[in-house]
Amino acid sequence: MDVQEIIGLTAAQAIAAIERGDLDAVELFSAYRRRAEEDELGAFTWVAEHLPADMHADGPLRGVPLAVKDLFCTAGIPSQSGSKILEGYLPPYTATSVARLEHAGATIVGKTNQDEFAMGSSNENSAFGPVLNPWDRTRVPGGSSGGSAAAVAAGLAPWALGTDTGGSIRQPAALCGIVGLKPTYGTVSRYGMIAFASSLDQAGPLTRDVTDAALLYRHMVGTDPNDATAVGHPEEIRLPTAERLDGLRLGVPTELTSGEGLEPGVLAAFEATLETARGLGATIEECSLHSAPHALSAYYVIAPAEASSNLARFDGVRYGLRREADDLVSMYTGTRHDGFGAEVKRRILIGTYALSSGYYDAYYGRAQRVRTLIAREFASVFERCDLVVTPTSPGVAFELGAKTADPLAMYLNDSFTVPMSLAGIPAISIPCGLSEDLPVGFQLAGPAFSENRILDAAHALERAIGFDGSPARTRTGATS
């Protein structure tokens, strides 16, 4: 096979080709390793120099290369969470989810760029530079898993691991025209994921198609003695086969789809997808998530509050950046002043304030009550609907720098993804068409642990939509 043929394969197709003997796992790894090394998008922060000695090519994933978001700890491999404060940091251990995948036969080909500590929606907050969208290099790939999304879309990796706190898998997947699954909170261990907001962070796959998402996710789930919040999954994750949506009731929350800021091209692609779903036998009905308009406000209290505490460990004492000083407080402040970027500092300040004595009830306490309401409203909607569907993002990929001066405009990118994060429920984004020649994402969310249902529905829609992601691959690395 030549390189173009190889990178044209999904991970599942590559596994099949290896099993048939048409493709060699080493050849596959080398092809991707070379493409990752020649990355012009800024998608990678580290690329493997050679094939690892302990490749598990006999595992079910057959040694297929995997790109891993920078914030997953990988033993002996830089794990910096996009931050200068962790520049060059080599963890002594590997995150449980990554270790599981390696054990199943995945081979780490590189670590991918991200917004610093996963705080951002454009990947412009990385200490290691922005990532360019392979569909249009003047635009952002979304964030915070921007490097993972761009790498998969551009064919620099067959698939990738990301994390989603308020949309950090789904939004970049949408903006890069690929599939991104945020699983039910707690189904995948968080051990070894450099924490942003502990009660929201969840690892998930970014893939070429829905089948790959199911395949990667199936090897990530499980309980973990090192993560007390990891509950595993009550069902075995199946590879989706559905081609129809007969009898499936899709709820469209009016609060989310009639709001301001939704680009007309995105709305058109969304509505066209609803028609496609109807054609496959689904029923579409309006539903209501009354508190959803408050989700973003609640999220931007809870996530920074947890982050302000999670990031306290970066103090220059034991690892990472340290600014020497004559006294302790100066060492602390110098280290954190120089080590953290502007957005991270902003969120630490917001979070510190929200938890302060005298303000806790008004901010953190109230945000938690909103969170409870949203979870209840989803539960009530799921009594009448099987899945809730929305556009993944209110707009397509925007130009680099377009929103960096306006944090609130940037935060609005998350308005369709944050409610599911607060409720802890699973949601997937699949590409559903183009607007202004850029991909549009379609989000399907279901009750906790309904990944199989979501993957089936997404699979049927994906087949009917027939989205072509190849332009992003051919525009990238065409010269090599």
Partner 1 sequence: MNGGGMPSDGTERGAGGPAEVASYEPVIGLEIHVQLRTRTKMFCSCPLSFGEPPNTHTCPVCLGLPGSLPVANAEAIHYGLMIGLAVGSELAPRSIFHRKNYFYPDLPKGYQISQYDEPLCSGGRLGEVRIHRVHLEEDAAKLTHVGSSGRIHGSDASVVDFNRGGTPLAEIVTEPDVRSAEQASEWLRLLRTTLRQLGVSDVNMEEGSLRCDANISIRPVGTTQLGTKTELKNMNSFRFIERGIRAEVARQEALLRAGETVTQETLHFDPRTEAITSLRSKEEAHDYRYFPEPDLPPVRITNEMLHRARTAMPELPAARETRFASVLGLNVESARLLSWRAELGDYFEAALDAGASMHPPAGAQPLANWISELTARHDGDDPADSKVTPQALATLVGLVGSKKLTQGGAKQVLDRLVAEGGDPAAIVDAESLGAVGGADELAPVVRAALEANPDVAAKLRDGDMKPIGVIVGYVMKETRGRADGGEVTAIVRAELGL
Distance, in Å, from the CA atom of 119 to the CA atom of 320, rounded to the nearest integer, reads 19
- The Cβ of residue 244 has, within 10 Å, a number of other Cβ atoms equal to 15
H-assigned helices in 311-392: 328-339, 342-355, 366-381
Active-site residue 69, yes or no?
A: yes
What whole-number distance in Å separates Cα of residue 336 and Cα of residue 345?
Answer: 9
Picking from 303, 335, 264, the residue whose alpha carbon sits closest to that of residue 144 is 303
Give the nearer residue to partner 1 in terms of CB position, either 29 or 340: 340
Q: Which is nearer to partner 1, 194 or 460 (CB)?
A: 194
Q: How far is the CB of 106 from partner 1 (least distance, A)?
A: 19
Residue-by-residue DSSP string for 234-293: SSPPPPP-----TT-EEEEEHHHHSSTT--HHHHHHHHHHHHHHHHTT-EEEEE--TTHH
Measured from the CB of residue 192, what is the shortest distance to partner 1 in angstroms? 4
Please provide the DSSP assignment of 175-232 as one string: HHTSEEEEPPTTSB--TTB--S-TTT-EEEEEESSHHHHHHHHHTTB-EETTEEEEE-
Q: How far is the CB of 293 from partner 1 (least distance, A)?
A: 25
Instruction: Assess contact for 314 and 89: CB atoms under 8 A.
Output: no
Q: Which is nearer to partner 1, 310 or 452 (CB)?
A: 310
Query: Whose structure tokens read 């090192």?
Result: 226
Closer CB to partner 1, residue 35 or residue 190?
A: 190
Q: Are 472 and 431 in contact (CB under 8 A)?
A: no
Q: Assess whether 168 carries a catalytic annotation.
A: yes
Alpha carbon distance 151, 65 (integer Å): 12
Identify the active-site residue in 83, 97, 122, 144: 144
Comparing CB distances to partner 1, the nearer of 37 and 315 is: 315
Q: Which of 81, 97, 145, 168 is catalytic?
A: 168
CB of 354 to partner 1, least distance (A): 9
- Taking the CA atoms of 49, 152, 170 and 131 in sequence, report the sign of the dihedral they define: positive
* Preceding amide of 199 cis, omega within 30: no
Q: Are 416 and 331 in contact (CB under 8 A)?
A: no
Residues that bind partner 1 (CB under 8 A): 71-73, 79, 81, 86, 89, 91-93, 95, 190-195, 197-199, 225-229, 305-306, 308-309, 311-315, 317-319, 328, 332, 352, 355-357, 360, 364
Phi, psi of 154 (to 5 degrees): -85, 0
Q: Is 451:237 a contact under the CB 8 Å cutoff?
A: yes
Closer Cβ to partner 1, 340 or 364, answer by number: 364
Instruction: Look up 429 and say whether it is catalytic.
Output: no
Shortest reach from residue 89's CB to partner 1, in Å: 7
Q: Is the dihedral of CA 389, 446, 457, 410 positive or negative?
A: positive
Minimum gap (Å) between residue 421 Cβ and partner 1 = 13
* Alpha carbon distance 40, 476 (integer Å): 8
- Shortest distance, CB of residue 111 to partner 1, whole angstroms? 14
Helices 451-465 and 210-218: angle between axes, nearest 10 degrees: 160
- Return the closest-CA partner of residue 475 out of 177, 266, 143: 177
Largest distance between two CA atoms of the chain:
70
Q: How near is the Cβ of 284 to partner 1 at its closest, in Å?
A: 36
Residue 231 or 438: the one with the smaller Cβ distance to partner 1 is: 231
**In this complex, which beta carbon is closest to partner 1, that of residue 81 or of residue 257?**
81
Q: Which residues are catalytic?
A: 69, 144, 168
